[in-house]
Amino acid sequence: MLKKEIRVIGIDDAPHKFKAKGNILLIGAIFRGGSFLDGILSTKASIDGNNATEKITAMINKSKFKPQLRCIFLDGIAVGGFNIIDIRELNKKTKLPVIVIIRKKPDIVNIKGILTRLNKKSKIKLLEKAGPVIPAGKIYIQIAGLSIGKAKEILEIVCTRSHIPEAVRLAHIIASGITYGESRGRA
């Protein structure tokens, strides 16, 4: 049985324009369960780059909150377009389980086709390495470092106002608020 105030981090990227260049802001919201915000972390990663895993790992491992964290939630497997996160490597280097939150079942065949057309075949390996997309209630997840049962148990604790964890929802609100001057869209 998990504590109701399990500390987790939810990570989302700031919105950006299609074909943008440069870096994208990443926000990490530290939550106790699905009720209390304990802190905010931030870093930047390259749009369509290859450094998201390393940047997120460093952000978490250097944080004063790290010893209290029990799980990492990601809003999707990529940030800044196609900067795909290696969830197995993130799990290994932070020693924390990773749960990728996906609102709608992804069309993996279409995504692989786009990556092939863009000559980014190496990113297909990262998608495949992440493992299967698993239904979890009204959302889908990918996991590293924990069982499906444990992932669903954590989700029950941290999803208090919607089908996604509060930490991810708030990271989204903050990232879009910083970008646009006020928050927009759904996490």
Residue-level pLDDT at 58: 98
Phi, psi of 164 (to 5 degrees): -115, 155
For residue 5, is pLDDT > 90? no
User: What's the rounded mean pLDDT across residues 25-40?
Assistant: 94
43-76 pLDDT, tens digit per residue, is 999 999 999 999 999 999 999 999 999 999 999 9
Instruction: List 43's β-bridge partners, or say none.
Output: 26
Closest alpha carbon to 176 in 1, 2, 14, 5 = 14
Q: Is the pTM of this model over 0.85?
A: yes
- Locus of tokens 């927009």: 184
- b/e code 59-88 from CB counts within 10 Å (16+ = b): bbeebeebeebebbbbbbbbbbbbbbbbbb
125-184 pLDDT, tens digit per residue, is 888 999 999 999 999 999 999 999 999 999 999 999 899 999 999 999 999 999 888 887
87-125 pLDDT, tens digit per residue, is 999 999 999 999 999 999 988 888 888 888 888 888 888
